[in-house]
């Protein structure tokens, strides 16, 4: 089964063709990073305009790279939530028009489910059930993945997501966008124990996350140095900050492992590319004797291949939509877009 997938939830316009949920025949991304670097982050209005300019071209290239035509496509999968609403609407409306004009089934996909599915591409042997940690710029979730389309949220962030917290700290350190990625590169040789940041706890919920206090501590530390005219210790502050964020992620994950006792564990999302997180999760899973799955670096960030992979399983579950499909800026991961 060939699925044409479209991803436009943030600042990259992606299109891919995925066969049977596991085999990537093509994967095209039109990146907007060079433009958003000028502003230190994503400007939603600009992102939406660029999606409008790119979506048709990336879909055509994805089909061409796969050596297929629309007649060979069995369904179109599209990210419908969550994300920047203007950006999402571009992809959703393009997909609806494409499906209506060519009588092709339309499959809405939850962006976070797509991130989890990136592991199905990188590790064809992976099947649910498993415990997953989803970490991206806007989301931090611990999820019990019971089946390809049955998700139970164990914990989530109460404020800032891990990726957002790293991006904001990186910007204060003078690092260019994307902040988290550049912090990982620039601070790789820093001393991760030179600075201590608060370890956040959420009263009444041992699996939920909170990164706002840690972010505020970093802001205060950097501003204090600036006010005193002291040089910013970028490498060591960044390394210490990353270590603290990862320590929180590992601590909550270990508690969930102790509760659910999974045999498999998955990390997913843009922050899953972070070298410190990957290293510490490898150590944790080795200690717990749990099999670890991580997406290849090329599938960690937003891409359409992961949407095509998850779209395949959503289609098998009967989760299709019609021309009334809308996009949503926020949506729980356990929602299947049922009308």
Exposed/middle/buried for residue 224 (C-beta within 10 Å: 0-12, 13-18, 19+): exposed
Query: What is the set of domains in the chain, with CATH numbers?
Result: 2-116+299-316 (3.30.420.40), 128-295 (3.30.420.40)
Rounded CA separation 198/211 (Å): 9
Q: Supply the pTM of this predicted model.
A: 0.95
Dig out the tokens for 220 from the structure: 């205060």
Q: What is the pLDDT along the chain (339 residues), one digit of tens a residue?
A: 999 999 999 999 999 999 999 999 999 999 998 899 888 889 999 999 999 999 999 999 999 999 999 999 999 999 999 999 999 999 999 999 999 999 999 999 999 999 999 999 999 999 999 999 999 988 999 999 999 999 999 999 999 999 999 999 999 999 998 999 999 999 999 999 999 999 888 888 899 999 999 999 999 999 999 999 999 999 999 999 999 999 999 999 999 999 999 999 999 999 999 999 999 999 999 999 999 999 999 999 999 999 999 999 999 999 999 999 999 999 999 988 865
Structure tokens at 282: 């490898």
Q: Enter the DSSP assignment of 273.
A: G
Give pLDDT tens digits for 86-121: 999 999 999 999 999 999 999 999 999 999 999 999
Cβ within 8 Å of residue 106, ≥6 positions away: 75, 76, 78, 95, 96, 99, 320, 321, 322, 325
Helical packing angle, 234-260 and 179-186, nearest 10°? 110
Task: Give the C-alpha separation, 293 to 265, whole Å.
Answer: 6
Give the tens place of pLDDT for each residue, 260-271. Answer: 999 999 999 999
DSSP states along 71-118: GG-SEEEEEEESS-HHHHHHHHHHHHHHHHHHT--EEEEEHHHHHHHH
d(CA 83, CA 108): 13
């Amino acid at each position: 089964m060939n699925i044409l997938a479209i991803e436009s939830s943030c600042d990259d316009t992606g299109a891919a063709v995925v066969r049977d949920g596991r085999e990537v025949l093509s994967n095209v991304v039109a990146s907007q990073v060079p433009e958003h670097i000028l502003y230190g982050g994503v400007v939603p209005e600009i992102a939406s305009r660029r999606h409008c300019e790119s979506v048709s071209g990336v879909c055509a290239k994805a089909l061409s790279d796969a050596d297929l035509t629309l007649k060979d496509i069995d369904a179109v999968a599209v990210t419908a939530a969550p994300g920047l609403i203007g950006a999402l609407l571009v992809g959703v409306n393009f997909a609806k028009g494409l499906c209506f004009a060519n009588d092709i089934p339309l499959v809405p996909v939850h962006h976070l489910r797509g991130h989890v599915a990136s592991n199905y591409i990188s590790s064809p042997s992976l099947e649910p059930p498993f415990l997953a940690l989803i970490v991206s710029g806007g989301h931090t979730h611990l999820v019990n993945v019971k089946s390809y389309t049955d998700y139970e949220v164990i914990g989530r962030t109460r404020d800032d997501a891990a990726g957002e917290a790293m991006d904001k700290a990186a910007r204060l350190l003078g690092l260019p966008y994307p902040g988290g990625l550049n912090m990982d590169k620039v601070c790789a040789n820093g001393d991760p124990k030179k600075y201590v940041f608060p370890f956040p706890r959420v009263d009444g919920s041992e699996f939920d996350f909170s990164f706002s206090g840690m972010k505020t501590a970093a802001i205060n530390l950097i501003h204090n140095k600036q006010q005193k005219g002291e040089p910013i210790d970028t490498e060591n502050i960044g390394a210490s900050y990353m270590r603290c964020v990862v320590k929180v992620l590992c601590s909550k994950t270990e508690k969930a492992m102790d509760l659910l006792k999974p045999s498999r564990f998955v990390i997913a999302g843009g922050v899953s590319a972070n070298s410190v997180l990957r290293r510490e999760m490898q150590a944790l899973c080795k200690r717990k004797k749990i099999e670890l799955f991580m997406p290849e670096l090329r599938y960690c960030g937003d891409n359409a291949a992961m949407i095509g992979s998850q779209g395949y399983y959503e289609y098998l579950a009967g989760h299709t939509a019609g021309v009334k499909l809308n996009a949503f800026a926020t949506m729980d991961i356990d929602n299947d877009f049922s009308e």
